[in-house]
Structure 1
Amino acid sequence: MRIIDVTLEISNEMVSFPGDPRVEIAKVLDIKKGDIATVSKLMLSSHTATHIDAPAHFIKDGLTVDRLLLENLMGKVKVIDAIDEDRINREFLSKKEIGDAKAVFFKTRNSQYLHSKSFYHSYVSLSLDAAEYLIEKGVKVVGIDYLSIEEYASVDYPVHKTLLSREVVIVEGLNLLNVSEGEYSFVALPLKIKGCDGAPARVVLIEE
């Protein structure tokens, strides 16, 4: 068994989605300075690094991250290689074997930009017809390897709204650079923040 950590490291230097608060991590106590213990203060967006979007992110009265069904956040996942795609659409997905996978993660060229300190505006995103296709297939979790699944500068956010209105959980910021296409087990557990629209998550793939 091999465990593959596909979670981004949270740091002060990491890139944030434009408009989101930047990460600030600072020590308020430090044993190196004579304090009894080391304690840090964290300031960050609920959509920092590898994170989960709950329905409440875009849907009024939608499920908050603390109310998500944990059974949907672990199990089998299909990682789909979309390296050559500029946008993931229904036509592309119809040529892929999704089967009965309840979770699908997309590996794109985005992964190579995840560690850049500059935001990559031309990231690969999911089209609306692809989102509708995944819902038709019964997928419960959709993940991608950048900070948003929606194209940059979207006005109405139809992909988010379509998925989240059907309680399909979105996982963004996956580090899939060294992951091959195939089937894995996965665990994607967000911080349990009461009433929140999303939260950073530790996500791992398990290869038997």
Structure 2
Amino acid sequence: MKRILLSYPLSVNTPVYKDNPSVEIQQQSSIDQGDLYNQFIITSLNHNGTHIDGPWHFNPQGLKISEIPIDYFIFTHPTILDIPKGNDELITKADLEPYEHQIAGSDLLLIRTGFGKFRSSDPIRYSDHNPGFAADAASYLMVFDSLRAVGMDMISSGSVIHVDEAIAFHQIMLGKGRVDGKFILLIEDMNLNHNLSGIEKVYAVPLYIEGVDSSFSTVFTEA
């Protein structure tokens, strides 16, 4: 068994969605400069880098990220789907329907569009022209009782260009307006550039920060 990292390290070069502020990392003390220890100040929006969108992100009655039990972030029936998409294209219900039998019974769905290859080679394209999900994809995915999270190789599950679709997708997936409390987490900006055919378990562990909607995540799999 081997472990594969599915998240990106946070850095000053991390691509950011649309007009979000960039990551800043400042060394506060330095052994090389005569201090006794090294220490850093990290300033970042909580949606930069690989992160998990929690319910409160778009759902005013939703849980904050630190209110979700840790077991919720451990997945034992992951499924990966290759659905190629280019600039500004949407993943629709029609794209997902052929995979109904694979999605059924899955607790984590990983969508690999191939767009992740632009993260380092063309970060502006990756940030400003990402594919995203259509609202009808959210309505379709919410039908699957076992599904607890959807991860993707895109900077966001919402396309920068298709704002209305992006908002509706997030609202539906994060449970806005539902009386049963159901939601599906969104794991954005994942590194899916691996052979993941044998994955058995995925850990998507958020940094628990009180009072926030979403948080950075280290994600890895056992294969």
Instruction: Output the CA distance in 2 between the equivalents of 1:184 and 1:83.
Output: 23
Q: Which residue number corresponds to residue 81 of structure 1?
A: 82
Contact 1:114–1:175 at 8 Å: present in 2 too? no
Deviations 1:69-121 (A, max 9, x none): 32221122111111257432222211112130011011112211222442433
Instruction: Output the CA distance in 2 between the equivalents of 1:164 and 1:83.
Output: 24
- After TM superposition, the structure 1 stretch with the greater mean CA deviation from structure 2, 62-71 or 51-60, is 62-71
Deviations 1:103-143 (A, max 9, x none): 10111122112224424333221121211111101211111
TM-fit CA distance, 1:167: 2.0
Q: Which residue number corresponds to residue 152 of structure 1?
A: 160
Deviations 1:15-74 (A, max 9, x none): 111222210001010001110000000000101100001111111131111011322211
Contact 1:78–1:184 at 8 Å: present in 2 too? no
Q: How many residues align?
A: 207
Equivalent AA in structure 2 for residue 144 of structure 1:
M
- After TM superposition, the structure 1 stretch with the greater mean CA deviation from structure 2, 62-71 or 31-40, is 62-71
TM-score, L = length of structure 2: 0.86
User: CA 1:152 to 1:99, structure 2 compared with 1: closer, same or farther past 3 Å?
Assistant: same
Equivalent AA in structure 2 for residue 105 of structure 1:
L
Contact 2:116–2:193 at 8 Å: present in 1 too? yes
Q: Which residue number corresponds to residue 97 of structure 2?
A: 94
Instruction: Output the CA distance in 2 between the equivalents of 1:197 and 1:119.
Output: 27
- The alignment partner of 1:36 has SS state of coil
Instruction: Output the CA distance in 1 between the equivalents of 2:139 and 2:72.
Output: 19
- After TM superposition, the structure 1 stretch with the greater mean CA deviation from structure 2, 25-34 or 10-19, is 10-19
Q: Which residue number corresponds to residue 202 of structure 2?
A: 186
Deviations 1:157-186 (A, max 9, x none): 000000001321111010101234565310
Structure 2: runs of 5+ lacking an equivalent: 176-181
- The alignment partner of 2:209 has SS state of coil
User: CA 1:64 to 1:112, structure 2 compared with 1: closer, same or farther past 3 Å?
Assistant: same
- After TM superposition, the structure 1 stretch with the greater mean CA deviation from structure 2, 59-68 or 69-78, is 69-78
Contact 1:22–1:44 at 8 Å: present in 2 too? yes
Contact 1:17–1:119 at 8 Å: present in 2 too? no
Q: Report which of the two has the higher share of helix.
A: 2
User: CA 1:198 to 1:84, structure 2 compared with 1: closer, same or farther past 3 Å?
Assistant: closer
- The alignment partner of 1:188 has SS state of strand
Equivalent AA in structure 2 for residue 178 of structure 1:
H
- The alignment partner of 1:31 has SS state of coil
Contact 2:30–2:36 at 8 Å: present in 1 too? yes
TM-score, L = length of structure 1: 0.92
- The alignment partner of 2:11 has SS state of coil
Structure 1: runs of 5+ lacking an equivalent: none
Q: Which residue number corresponds to residue 61 of structure 1?
A: 61
Instruction: Output the CA distance in 2 between the equivalents of 1:91 and 1:155.
Output: 19
Q: Which residue number corresponds to residue 27 of structure 2?
A: 27
